[in-house]
Amino acid sequence: MTDPCFPECGVARFLTLLNGPWATLIVRELLHGPHRFNQLREALPGISPHTLTSRLRQFERHGIVTRTTYAEIPPRVEYALTPLGEGLREVLEAMGTWAMAVPDPESGVTA
């Protein structure tokens, strides 16, 4: 039943790989399927190209995301999750499930 040592072993690594406020949000977007650079920018209101590139590069290094370049006249680059990255779906879903149980910060944290 959930060996006590089981979560801790990985939590730290998870935090290392998905550090920063944007990291997880980018993965969440990629969970919908491959995205082009500007597609991600549009899907992530407020993110700067600098940050987006930075996170994406880190994901590449860690084998979470793949970068595919299409040498066409209008340059096209697609970012997609690797199987490893896909595995994050369960984690994100757990986050989402939990958060939905969180009372609105403004609606009487009375509970």
| Distance between CA atoms of residues 98 and 27, nearest Å | 18
**How big is the site for DNA, counted in residues (CB under 7 A)?**
27
CA 78 to chain centre: 15
* Shortest distance, position 108 Cβ to a second copy, whole Å: 10
One residue of 8, 12, 71, 74 binding DNA per CB under 7 A: 74
Q: Could you say which of a second copy, DNA, none residue 62 binds, taking C-beta under 5 to 8 angstroms by partner kind?
A: a second copy
Query: Which positions touch a second copy (CB under 8 A)?
Result: 2, 4, 6-15, 17, 19, 21, 24-25, 28, 31-32, 61-63, 84, 87-103, 105, 109, 111
State the amino acid at position 20 in one-letter form. G
What ranges in 31-107 are assigned the alpha helix state H? 37-43, 49-61, 83-86, 88-100
Rounded Cα distance between 31 and 80, Å, is 8
Stretch that binds DNA, among 4-12, 74-82, 87-95, 102-110 (CB under 7 A): 74-82
Among positions 36, 62, 80, 82, the unique one binding DNA when judged by CB under 7 A: 36
